[in-house]
Structure 1
Amino acid sequence: MEQKKQLRTIAQNKKARHDYFVIESIEAGISLAGTEVKSLRAGNVNLKDSWCDIYKGEVFLRGMHISPYEKGNIFNRDPVRERKLLLHKREIYRLLGQIKQEGLTLIPLSLYFKGQHVKVQLGLCKGKKLYDKRADMANKAAKRDIQRALKERSR
């Protein structure tokens, strides 16, 4: 019998959904050191200003900050070093083609444990203009007001 692997979210990049339209999302593995995984289990990570680059047929995650593990001493790595993402070649070439032709960006949306493995959810994103952000905020405020009114009415 096959057991379902539990997903446990470590961190989410909420700013990415505010600044970009997410066209497609992709799950990728990530290459980490042992002390980095222990630090992730404690939740010491920041995805806020991170992005992905494709260089020589490999995808690298840059700008992600994993705080050093407290008990890691000499085994700790640089907190903002680039980390290799694990994807199939055909996925990498497909992403590269979309990035080059359509002017899209690869942004990490969330980091989570799937079973015992750390996975990254990447978003193929298109940047939002200021008026798009304002429209999204107005829609969100309108939905919040509607929910509040319905809640008051039901009392």
Structure 2
Amino acid sequence: MIFQLNILHGLLAIGAIGCAYLALREVRRPYVSVWRLFVPPFLGCAVAFGLVLIQLAANHPSWQFGAALLVGLTAGAARGFTMQVQIDAYRPRFQARPATKRVLLWVSLVLVLSVSLDAVGAVQSPALAPVRFFAAMLATLCAGTLVGRATAVTARLRYAHRD
């Protein structure tokens, strides 16, 4: 019996899988352009926003999601500012080590896991509401990490081209 599974879960799954696919493409490429840095965070934010809306409809406090987003932004920005990159002098793109890029892939896979946790919680029973809340918090944290990393790397690229 399906309790609260709806079409939104399908759209969130497509967005999370798209985020993981684009993160995998970024890991495999030697160079990444600036606009490609923001595509996985955009999809991650859309997925997190959908999961947060589901939880806000269930009357959970919104400040907890804001705190998770702030922690994710801080962690992502710290990662983006401390990762070793080689900046191309002619075009705004960067080359990072493969180990540095794999963190992006793991974060996007955790985002896929959080969507699947929410879908399982929606199908099984209303007793799994804490699991769904945890999944929304985890997705918000991951989206903040993706956005913080992309913003920090873009700021580093823009600063390097001013010199």
TM over 0.5: no
Larger helix proportion, structure 1 or 2? 2
Q: TM-score range by the shorter chain?
A: under 0.3
Q: Specify which structure has the bigger relative contact order, considering alpha-carbon pairs within 8 angstroms and separated by 6 or more residues.
A: 2
TM-score, normalising length: structure 1: 0.23
TM-score (norm 2): 0.22
* Bigger CA radius of gyration: 1
Larger strand proportion of the pair: 1
